[in-house]
Amino acid sequence: MSGGLVEGKVALVTGAGKGIGRACALAFAREGAQVLVSDQDAAGCESVAKEIAAAGGVARSKRADVTREDDVAALVADCLSAFGRLDCAHNNAGGPVGGGPVHTLSLAHWHATLELNLSSVFYCLKHEIPVMQRQGAGSIVNTASGAGLIAVPQLGHYAAAKHGVLGLTKAAALENARTGVRVNAVCPGTIDTPTLRAAMQLQPKMGERWLASQPGGRFGTPEEIAEAVVWLSSDRASFVTGESFVVDGGAVMR
């Protein structure tokens, strides 16, 4: 694993036990980075770290609940202890909790969704940015969503959180325009992940509607999101900051 887009860099990926996070951790390693693989599922992130090592890469796993600031602080500290620096951070953990019309959402689902999707990104930025500022360089990619750009009925709390991620990303990008730290967001469309497959099994007709809504007639793959994340994290994207990079097969344009 040499000569890649992020050769010699250290990358931290949250929500990396499966789906998009797993694909991104593998892609960072394939492109030459040492990777700290993190997830709330300890077995999941350990499995991905072992997968990277088996392919000849360097990885370490650490369980963390990114809705807890103390866990995020410990995660960044562990990265520095293990690798000595932090060059690329992909703040990816997220997902809706519950759903329904806005006026029926429970406070528990509202708070849990904002904590997981928005507050977690704030905690990560709060602890990653100072490290990168001291280094004089770094790249952060936050996972937003197509739901951060358009209305999503039945998922108003999730859409609100993802719209918030884009606002937070833009503010952090401007604040760091002269520090050497770039901050961007990737906005995946409907991606073929284990979570999506499980939801489609529970609601087959809903899955059919999701597929029918895709302009290209298919869902995206985690690997396609990973390509965008690693490019944004690399020096190839040196003049890109504050961007909301949409990877959705044209879905939000329909």
Please identify every residue annotated as catalytic.
Answer: 158
Tokens of 95: 């997902």
210-223 burial, b at 16+ Cβ within 10 Å, e below that, comes to beeebeeeebbebe
- Sign of the torsion formed by the C-alpha atoms of 168, 144, 158 and 12: negative
Q: Which helix (H) or strand (E) holds 209?
A: helix 204-212
**CA distances for 55 relative to 32, 92, 232, 246, angstroms:** 12, 23, 23, 30
d(CA 29, CA 41): 20
Rounded (10°) angle between helices 120-135 and 69-83: 30
| Placement of tokens 């719209």 in the chain | 163
